[in-house]
Each structure stands twice: as C-alpha cells, then as structure tokens.
Amino acid sequence: MPSAFQIHDADNVATLLEDADGAVRVLGARPHEIQLLEKIQRGHKVALQDVAPGEAVVKFGVPIGHATRSISRGAWVHLHNLASDLDQRSGTLDLHSGAPTDTASAYV
C-alpha cells in the first residue's frame, strides 16, 4: 500500500511518499489509512480532513496557506484549491510544474 507522511500532529495534510490512487497508509503523528479521491503524485499533499474555504492548511505544525474552496478529506491539496499566505505569487504558478505564468519567457 502506498504511503504518505503527516509531519506534525496538528497537520491537516500529509505528503505522498509515492504516486498513489486508492487507499494510502498515513505514517507519522497519527498513523491511519485514508482513501484518496483522485490520483496524487509523490511529493504532493492530501487532505486528512475536510477543509472549508478560508480555513488554514497546516503542514509542519504551522499554517502554510488557506483553502480557496472546499477541500474534501482524501483530495489533492495544491495550487487549484490552496493559496499561500507566504507567497502572493502562488496563485499565478502553473498547476503541474509550479512554473511562473505571470512573466514572459526569456526564450522566443
């Protein structure tokens, strides 16, 4: 079974340790299993509980941003439903690559 890691007991997200689709074993602060609602790639976050719009997304025991829309338990947490409270440019980054989309390319 694929695994994810919850870093701190207060975290409402865990990070996938490998690509996963289906059930995942959550290791760390509160070991348990969770059913993913969609395929999530290694290194990305999964919601461990429902997160309401505007509610803090907590990783490392500290808020890293807030939900921009409802996030269900087992859902992928990324740029499409999370805004950083640390980096205002996060909303302009490409969903999959993380590359900036608000600046022109240096290559023509």
> Would you place residue 87 in the very low, low, confident or very high pLDDT band (cuts 50, 70, 90)?
low
Distance CA 15, CA 4 (A): 5
Q: Is residue 98 domain-resident?
A: no
Distance CA 47, CA 57 (A): 9
pTM of the model: 0.80
**Average pLDDT over all residues of the chain:** 87
Q: Is residue 101 domain-resident?
A: no
Closest CA to 78 of 57, 101, 63, 61: 57
Q: Which domain holds residue 57?
A: 3-92
Closest CA to 16 of 1, 61, 91: 1
Span 80-88, average pLDDT:
81
Q: Is residue 59 domain-resident?
A: yes
Give 97: exposed, middle or buried? Use CB within 10 Å, 0-12, 13-18, 19+.
Answer: exposed
SS3 80: coil
Number of domains in the chain: 1
* pLDDT value of position 30: 80
Q: Is residue 79 domain-resident?
A: yes
Q: Is residue 99 domain-resident?
A: no
CATH of the domain at 40: 2.30.130.110
Closest CA to 16 of 26, 30, 8: 26
Q: Is residue 9 domain-resident?
A: yes
